[in-house]
Chain A
Amino acid sequence: MGRNPTDTHDISDRFLTYGYAAILTFLTLSGFGQMPIFKRYYIADIPGLGWLAKFFITHYIHYLGAILLLVFFAYWVVQYLLVKRNRIEITRSGYLRAAMLGGILISGGFMVFRNLDGVWLPPGFIILLNLVHLGLVMMFLATAFYCLISKKTWTRVPSTNM
């Protein structure tokens, strides 16, 4: 039996997995780099990590990471709807992670909008955005770590009763 032409367990999936991991790593580092902690705790003194103490560099890298994450997120969602919806299903931990990631993207989107010239948002709302964004990131990272060590996947092939 030949390979199903819509079988997507190919190089693009591996690219998605490793790319996603790399993007999350840079987003996490640059995100925490928005706080003045890396210089204080000598982490920026580690060769190759000096950029973590430069606020505008971490700001740009965070934006670049967000752009790539949006590309990946949209790619995966559309691919799932078009190609994989009938062959795989999203697990509960997958839904949980997707919801948290969506919340991170939405709260981050508001913060990007806030940074535009001429845009004003109420100060109380900005504090809430900061706390929600950071809170969701902490929960997402904890969940992702738990899923990694307990080998919980985003999707699975539905069991069929023959």
Chain B
Amino acid sequence: MESKLSRRAFLKGGVAAACTLAATQVPAAEASPDTQQHLATLIDIRKCVGCEECVDACRTANAAKYPDPEKPFPKMYPKRVKTADWSKKQETQDRLTPYNWLYIQQAEVTVNGEEQEITIPRRCMHCSNPPCVKLCPWGAAKQQKNGISRIDSNICLGGSKCKSVCPWKIPQRQTGVGLYLDLLPSFAGNGVMYKCDRCYSRVAKGELPACIEACPEEVQTIGPRDEIIKKAHEMAKESNAYIYGEKENGGTNTLYISPVPFEELNRAIEKGKGKPHLAPADNTMAQGNNLAAAMLIAPLAGAAAAVGKYYNLTKKGGDQNGA
């Protein structure tokens, strides 16, 4: 009881601030997939009670998008290529799968001297500059102007590069479905990758993503990224809370507010396949983009070298003629 009261007191300031942001629909200007402004969500894990209403709502809203694989799977060559089949484990809710794009992570931590169980909704972070989108070799992973990143199941070949380059290894593969079946199913591709698309079609209609709408505790709020960041800082300042997602991987469109440092949370959560970490994440695209700046200079350097050579040759010719 004391623990609950303590937590309530702790939340008092944050709840009041969050309520001012709570919305029943996505602001019209940001709803369009063509808006210039990125939409971000703020997940106040201090309010999450782990009821999994968001998980159920996500599964209901996205059920039509879930894979319906053809079996038996094509024989894969070479033999090292492993198939991924979640079709018989569709009810799995304790990790990310092609049939479960959101799950609740748990952590036992000490808050203000009290042992508490923190529950954390986990799904795609929707990075501002998403490596899954930018490095997809076919353009199957897409980013909308409003910052939502999603994988087009009609053209994804299931190579899993998006998962390899994702700092949180979010996308999950299902074999036996998708375009690769019509190409060279035994030799190239391996299904389709699935992850949260933040209910992009609902958002386009001005509706809230299913997980936000279903949450009885109003854990999540959604809005333009700069406003969400501002609100996150206000909340963090008011209650000495911590922010995750503002800087991670160069900035994401999912921000978390926690009563304990994320290093502590990261130590306490179960991590592994389909169970993303909460550790600091370097900007994966930054080094490549630094090299991109050198590409602007490269032609000038080449041209300057050629001009220098021409100058030396003509000078040498002039010297010889003058001798």
Check if B81 is an interface residue, CB within 8 A of chain A: yes
Identify whether the interface residues of A are mostly helix, strand, loop, or mixed: helix
When chains A and B are docked, how far (Å) is the Cα of A17 from the Cα of B135? Answer: 31
Using A34-B137, A78-B302 as known contacts, say yes or no to A116 and B307 having CB atoms under 8 A apart. no
Residue of B nearest to A36 (CB): B159
Residue of B nearest to A39 (CB): B80
How far in angstroms is the closest Cβ of chain A from B278? 22
Residue of B nearest to A112 (CB): B292
Q: Are the CB atoms of B135 and A66 closer together than 8 Å? A: no
Q: Are the CB atoms of A63 and B310 closer together than 8 Å? A: no
Sample of 18 A–B contacts (CB below 8 Å): A5-B313, A5-B314, A5-B320, A8-B309, A34-B135, A35-B159, A42-B78, A42-B80, A55-B135, A72-B302, A73-B302, A76-B302, A78-B307, A82-B307, A83-B310, A115-B292, A117-B250, A130-B137
Check if B5 is an interface residue, CB within 8 A of chain A: no
- Interface window among A86-94, A118-126, A137-145, A150-158: A118-126
Using A42-B78, A59-B288, A115-B134 as known contacts, say yes or no to A120 and B143 having CB atoms under 8 A apart. yes
Using A63-B295, A66-B295, A123-B139 as known contacts, say yes or no to A78 and B288 having CB atoms under 8 A apart. no
**Cβ–Cβ < 8 Å partners of B139 in chain A:** 123, 126-127, 129-130
Residues of A participating in the B interface, judged by any CB pair closer than 8 Å: 2, 5-6, 8, 12, 34-37, 40-42, 55-56, 59-60, 63-64, 66-68, 70-79, 82-83, 109, 112-118, 120, 123, 126-127, 129-130
**Cβ–Cβ < 8 Å partners of B289 in chain A:** 115-117
Residues of B participating in the A interface, judged by any CB pair closer than 8 Å: 78, 80-81, 128-129, 134-135, 137-139, 142-143, 145, 152, 155, 159-161, 164-165, 188, 250, 284-285, 287-289, 291-292, 294-295, 298-303, 305-307, 309-310, 313-314, 316-317, 320
Interface residue from B129, B138, B287 paired with A117 (Cβ < 8 Å): B129
For the complex of A and B, list the 5 residue pairs with the smallest distance between their C-beta atoms, beginning with the closest: A74-B302, A78-B306, A70-B298, A75-B302, A127-B139
Residue of B nearest to A79 (CB): B306
**Cβ–Cβ < 8 Å partners of B307 in chain A:** 78, 82
Q: Are the CB atoms of A116 and B292 closer together than 8 Å? A: yes
**Cβ–Cβ < 8 Å partners of A115 in chain B:** 129, 134-135, 285, 288-289, 292
